[in-house]
Amino acid sequence: MTRRLSASSIASHLVLLGWSLVVLIPVWTMLINSVKPKREIFRNPFGLPSEFTFEGYVDAWTAGRFDLYFRNSLIVSIVSLLLILFLGSLAAYALANWRSRLSNILYIYFIAGLMIPIRLGTINLLQIIISLGWNDSLLGLIPVYVAMGLPIATFVLTTFIRSVPGELNDAARIDGASEWRVYWSVILPLIRPALATVTIFNLLPIWNDLWFPLIFIRDQQARTVTLGVSLLFGQYQTDWTRALSALSMAAIPVLITYLLMSSQFIKGLTAGAIKG
């Protein structure tokens, strides 16, 4: 039995190691080539550079207006994530404590949002954005991303809130706490792993989205990182140092967010697996 367990453990570690190499090699190639002179990229694409240069980062940040695109994406991502977490946790708290046939219908309605791609309604969304005068504006992206992220947020958070012992909520109410106080002081601290999970799940599609910025935005002042990177890549298609520098900077916020929230994210996934 011990040998079988050890063999299966070795096999699983080999699979994970192989998958890690598949994921890390492209990241390594992107980062290491972003600090190489252009000619050296083709001579030695996987090795360390003989001469480090950060001209690609400087040019992409200044001449490529990457500072503007980066700020726009930060604004859209942060505001959208805050609204998703706030509205999603409120909806989850209501659905978890309101047990009736209507609440089950509403819960299924939210889950249906996971199965229907929001891009199917692009034409109608564009018409709404234009009628509101939000085209060529960051304001037009935020409601779309909030609607895109609410189904997964409600689905995950409702499951976690239902697992919280009801005695905690009852004790807080007996002590005179209002429903808002119970939600803010009792529920939110207990579901931090779930909030981290929802944040990471929604950050990736929001930050990396090219579809809606490409359709809604034409003004250069309102371009996001992904749209800006695609334009930079076309502009610098023969200058791989600048193109890879722009891609590296675009990946930094996602990597930092995951590193900061990785422990809570793993706790959320583990708790979800145990509850399931």
Are 220 and 114 within 8 A, CB to CB? no
Return d(Cα 15, Cα 215) in angstroms, integer: 40
In this prediction, residue 2 has a pLDDT band, given cuts at 50, 70 and 90, of very low
Pull the structure tokens for residue 118. Answer: 């929001």
Q: Would the pLDDT of 8 be above 80?
A: no
Alpha-helical (H) ranges within 98-141 are 101-115, 122-132
72 vs 51, more confident? 72
Q: What percent of the chain has pLDDT over 70?
A: 90
| Site of tokens 């800006």 | 228
10 vs 158, more confident? 158
Return d(Cα 49, Cα 35) in angstroms, integer: 7
Which pLDDT does position 4 carry in this prediction?
A: 53
Which pLDDT does position 131 carry in this prediction?
A: 94
What class has domain 62-275? Answer: mainly alpha
pTM attached to this predicted model: 0.83
Least confident among 33-37, 43-47, 156-160, 235-239:
235-239
Measured at the CA of 70, the angle between CA 64 and CA 71, to 5 degrees, comes to 120
Which pLDDT does position 228 carry in this prediction?
A: 82
Are 212 and 143 within 8 A, CB to CB? no
Which pLDDT does position 267 carry in this prediction?
A: 64
Are 222 and 129 within 8 A, CB to CB? no
Amino acid of residue 133: G
Domain parsing of the chain, residue ranges: 62-275
Measured at the CA of 271, the angle between CA 265 and CA 275, to 5 degrees, comes to 150
Which pLDDT does position 5 carry in this prediction?
A: 57
Which pLDDT does position 273 carry in this prediction?
A: 42
Please list, in sequence order, all residues whose beta carbon lies within 8 angstroms of the beta carbon of residue 198, skipping any fewer than 6 positions away.
84, 85, 88, 149, 152, 153, 156, 157
Least confident among 19-23, 120-124, 240-244:
240-244
Structure confidence by residue, pLDDT tens digits, 53-111: 888 888 888 877 888 998 999 999 999 999 999 999 999 999 888 877 887 888 888 88
Structure confidence by residue, pLDDT tens digits, 125-175: 999 999 999 988 999 999 999 999 999 999 989 988 988 888 888 888 888
Query: Radius of gyration (Cα) for the chain, nearest Å?
Result: 23
Q: Tell which residue, 257, 168, 157, 173, has the closest CA to residue 207.
A: 257
Please list, in sequence order, all residues whose beta carbon lies within 8 angstroms of the beta carbon of residue 203, skipping any fewer than 6 positions away.
77, 81, 254, 257
